[in-house]
């Protein structure tokens, strides 16, 4: 029971309290791009969660058996190598089974982004257990979708708003809108803003 509660608490924390996209900026470019495609949210959530969980679990196991290198450069090589290997194996399986180029393209976006790459670092820095690592991985996908949904709905509302000054229409208004959401999430973490 404790394992499940640890897993859920970690997942909920990174989705609703310290949203990895909004509070840390991880995977923000991809979230903004995916926000235009609400029909793909669940697909991306599943893929990002899958890659995050597998990568973070493998990296945690490597960390246990190698007693984790102190150098951040070595850590980066290990985490990047594991992520590339996980992506390559998944892409190879998809290629052999379906040969679906659209799915292969989506796999690239889901696996090779800063959000998935940062998950092993967060595990390492927070000294997370295996269940926390899995929770973090699952939460990463959900956090991404929550961020994309918020950005998408806001962007559509901003596009319809004719009162925005011409210079702020489009990307500038979207940046300011995302800043407000980010500020809201940062407030949940208890950090002093002013």
Partner 1 sequence: MDKNYSLSSMMRTGAFRFNPVLVQCVALCPVVAATQNLKDAFFIALAVFAHILVSSFAASLMLRKVSRPVRVAVYLILGLLLICPVLWLIEFKTLINLSFTMRVFLPLVAINSATAVHCETFAVKNDVRTAVYDALAAGTGIGIVMIICGALREIIGSGSILGRTLNFKFTLPAMAMPAGCLVLLGFGAAALQAFTAKRTAEKPARKETSAQPEEIELEVDGDFEPEQVDLDLTIENDDEYAYLLSSVNELIDSFTNKDEEGDEE
186 is an interface residue for partner 1 by CB under 8 A: yes
Three-state secondary structure of the chain: CHHHHHHHHHHHHHHHHCCHHHHHCCCHHHHHHHCCCHHHHHHHHHHHHHHHHHHHHHHHHHHHHHCCCCCHHHHHHHHHHHHHHHHHHHHHHHHHHCCCHHHHHHHHHHHCCHHHHHHHHHHHHHCCCHHHHHHHHHHHHHHHHHHHHHHHHHHHHHHHCCCCCHHHCCHHHHHHHHHHHHHHHHHHCCCCCC
7 vs 174 by CB, closer to partner 1? 174
Q: Which of 16, 95, 131, 154 binds partner 1 (CB under 8 A)?
A: 95
- Contact mark string toward partner 1, 132..161, x via CB under 8 A: ------------------------------
104 is an interface residue for partner 1 by CB under 8 A: yes
Judged by CB under 8 A, the number of residues near partner 1 is 69
Instruction: For the segment 109-128, give every residue that binds partner 1 (CB under 8 A).
Output: 109, 112-114, 117-118, 121, 125
**Which range, of 48-56, 58-66, 137-145, 184-192, touches partner 1 by CB under 8 A?**
184-192
1 is an interface residue for partner 1 by CB under 8 A: no
Binding site for partner 1 (CB under 8 A): 22-30, 32-33, 36-40, 71-77, 79-81, 83-84, 87-88, 91, 95, 101-102, 104-109, 112-114, 117-118, 121, 125, 165-176, 178-180, 182-183, 186, 191-194
């Amino acid at each position: 029971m404790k394992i499940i509660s640890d897993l859920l608490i970690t997942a909920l924390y990174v989705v609703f309290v310290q949203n990895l996209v909004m509070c840390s900026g991880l995977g923000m470019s991809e979230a903004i791009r995916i926000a235009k495609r609400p029909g793909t949210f669940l697909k991306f959530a599943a893929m990002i969660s899958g890659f995050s969980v597998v990568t973070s679990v493998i990296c945690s196991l490597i960390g246990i058996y190698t007693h984790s290198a102190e150098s951040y450069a070595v850590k980066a090589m290990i985490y990047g190598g594991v992520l590339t290997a996980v992506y390559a194996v998944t892409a190879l399986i998809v290629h052999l089974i379906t040969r679906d180029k659209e799915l292969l393209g989506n796999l690239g976006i889901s696996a090779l982004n800063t959000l998935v790459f940062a998950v092993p670092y967060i595990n390492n820095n927070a000294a997370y257990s295996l269940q926390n690592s899995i929770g973090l991985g699952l939460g990463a996908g959900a956090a991404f979708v929550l961020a994309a949904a918020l950005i998408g709905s806001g962007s559509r509302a901003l596009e319809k708003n004719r009162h925005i000054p011409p210079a702020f229409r489009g990307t500038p208004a979207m940046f300011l809108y995302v800043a407000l959401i980010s500020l809201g999430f940062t407030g949940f973490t208890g950090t002093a803003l002013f």
